């Protein structure tokens, strides 16, 4: 039998739950069996356990049957053989049932974790059961594949989000430097033209006034679009003033009563952290206006040691969270919530949404700051 060196946990720790990460484990170095091995380090594999259990039943039944046949008269020999056949079959079924039930328990745990990953809980990991070598190897490979896929996902999602943010900044600058300036120049020239018109020609004067009003509305909408793409206040004054401006312009001007509880200073935040928190709030405000039909919004942000906690609660109509979170990409629904969660996840944060029809919605965000 050939053995390979591989690190495995010395104990037999369970997992924190069917959808949770395993508890921290101490690690040692043991020999892991290759395929087909039945016994390693004094502990049989799953295949070995089945073979040993059935061998014990067969040997024990043969010895007892032979001994009993030699001691009893031939009169009861046929009945005895039948009795031992029935007893041996029942014992074999019972032992195999108990053994398989215990042996396949970790496999059912692994299946539940797979279902959790399928349902979107991408951080779920399988528990490592060192007493069952095959299950340990299967869970280890499964966890390694998930970790590798998670690494790829985070890497490419980070690149996509940063490219998206850079594109927002580029478009905002071009709209400000080119389109906005062109419209401003057009407005100035129209005002000059208005001064040169014959005021007795009321039709022409009225048309010029209407065009001026249209240009002014276009400039206002353009500035609003520029601020939604990338508000200069976020880069110039920081996150707290940007949040106050967002709540005032987005919600209060639309008739939604807002209550803010913000710290005076959040300390140093990286550009990625500032952008992530602002985009979460921006998306939450947009959802409130588009879908919630809320009349009141409470926003609380606080910093506790090395973490920032954010809570946004409205008194709107609410929704079934499972129905939105379960949408597949490309359906056009739930993409805003997915983007909020993705931004925080890339920075090690967490987003939770609590809602029900007629009971409003609560969005909670948590973002770690240490080591980022």
Tell me the pairing of strands 296-304 and 257-261.
parallel
Q: Which residue has the higher pLDDT, 51 or 237?
A: 237
Mean pLDDT throughout 69-87?
66
Residue 271: its pLDDT value, please?
Answer: 84
Q: Which residue has the higher pLDDT, 283 or 30?
A: 283
Q: Are 139 and 51 in contact (CB under 8 A)?
A: no
Q: Residue 37: is its pLDDT beyond 60?
A: no
Mean pLDDT of the chain: 76
Mean pLDDT throughout 154-182?
83
Q: Which of 8-12, 148-152, 188-192, 294-298 has the highest mean pLDDT?
A: 294-298
Distance CA 70, CA 81 (A): 12
Q: State both tokens at 213.
A: 């009003």
Tell me the pairing of strands 350-355 and 361-368.
antiparallel
Q: Are 306 and 368 in contact (CB under 8 A)?
A: yes
Mean pLDDT throughout 78-89?
71
The string of pLDDT tens digits covering residues 176-188 is 888 888 888 888 8
At 352, give phi and psi (nearest 5°). Answer: -130, 145
Q: Which residue has the higher pLDDT, 34 or 280?
A: 280
Q: Where exactly are the structural domains of the chain?
A: 3-131, 158-230, 233-372
pLDDT band at residue 33 under the 50/70/90 scheme: very low
Mean pLDDT throughout 164-181?
85
At 261, give phi and psi (nearest 5°). Answer: -130, 95
Residue 131: its pLDDT value, please?
Answer: 64
pLDDT band at residue 295 under the 50/70/90 scheme: very high
Q: Which residues contact 217 (CB under 8 A, 6 or more apart)?
A: none
Residue 80: its pLDDT value, please?
Answer: 66
pLDDT band at residue 71 under the 50/70/90 scheme: low
Residue 129: its pLDDT value, please?
Answer: 64
Residue 261: its pLDDT value, please?
Answer: 93
Q: Which residue has the higher pLDDT, 333 or 298?
A: 298
% of the chain exceeding 70 in pLDDT: 74
DSSP classification of residue 11: S
Q: Which residue has the higher pLDDT, 207 or 309?
A: 309
Q: Residue 20: is its pLDDT beyond 60?
A: no
Q: Which residue has the higher pLDDT, 76 or 224?
A: 224
Q: Which residue has the higher pLDDT, 11 or 63?
A: 63
Least confident of 242-256, 318-332, 340-354: 318-332
Instruction: Name the residue among 89, 106, 113, 108 with its Cα closest to residue 46.
Output: 106
Residue 270: its pLDDT value, please?
Answer: 86
Assign residue 23 a region: left if phi > 0, alpha if psi is -120 to 50, beta otherwise? Answer: beta
Residue 138: its pLDDT value, please?
Answer: 81
Which listed CATH number (3.30.565.10, 1.10.357.10, 3.30.1490.190, 3.90.1750.10) goes with 233-372?
3.30.565.10
Q: Residue 284: is its pLDDT beyond 80?
A: yes
Residue whose entry in the numeric block shows the structure tokens 């939770």: 352
Q: Residue 63: is its pLDDT beyond 70?
A: yes
% of the chain exceeding 90 in pLDDT: 14
């Amino acid at each position: 039998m050939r053995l390979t060196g591989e690190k495995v946990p010395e104990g037999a720790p369970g997992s924190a739950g069917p959808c949770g990460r395993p508890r921290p484990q101490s690690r040692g170095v043991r020999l892991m069996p290759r395929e087909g091995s039945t016994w390693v380090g004094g502990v049989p594999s799953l295949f070995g356990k089945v073979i040993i259990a059935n061998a014990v039943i067969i040997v024990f039944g043969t010895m007892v049957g032979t001994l009993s046949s030699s001691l009893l008269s031939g009169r009861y020999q046929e009945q005895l053989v039948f009795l031992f056949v029935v007893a041996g079959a029942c014992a074999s079924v019972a032992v195999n049932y108990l053994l398989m039930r215990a042996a396949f328990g970790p496999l059912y745990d692994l299946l539940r974790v797979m279902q959790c990953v399928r349902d979107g809980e991408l951080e779920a990991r399988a528990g490592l059961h060192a007493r069952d070598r095959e299950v340990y190897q299967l869970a280890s490979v499964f966890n390694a594949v998930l970790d590798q896929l998670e690494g790829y996902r985070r890497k490419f999602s980070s690149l996509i989000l940063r490219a998206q943010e850079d594109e927002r900044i580029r478009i905002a600058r071009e709209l400000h430097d080119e389109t906005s300036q062109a419209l401003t120049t057009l407005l100035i020239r129209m005002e000059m033209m208005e001064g040169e018109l014959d005021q007795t020609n009321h039709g022409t004067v009225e048309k010029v006034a209407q065009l001026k009003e249209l240009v002014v509305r276009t400039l206002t909408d353009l500035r609003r679009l520029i601020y939604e793409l990338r508000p200069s206040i976020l880069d110039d004054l920081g996150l707290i003033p940007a949040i106050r401006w967002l709540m005032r312009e987005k919600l209060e001007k639309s008739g939604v009563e807002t209550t803010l509880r913000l710290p005076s200073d959040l300390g140093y935040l990286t550009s990625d952290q500032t952008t992530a928190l602002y985009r979460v709030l921006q998306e939450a405000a947009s959802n409130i206006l588009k879908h919630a039909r809320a009349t009141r919004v409470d926003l609380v942000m606080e910093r506790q040691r090395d973490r920032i906690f954010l809570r946004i609660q409205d008194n709107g109509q609410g929704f079934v969270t499972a129905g939105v979170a379960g949408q597949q990409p490309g359906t056009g629904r739930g993409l805003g919530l997915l983007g909020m969660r993705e931004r925080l996840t890339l920075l090690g944060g967490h987003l939770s949404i609590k809602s029900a029809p007629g009971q409003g919605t609560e969005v909670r965000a948590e973002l770690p700051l240490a080591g980022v």
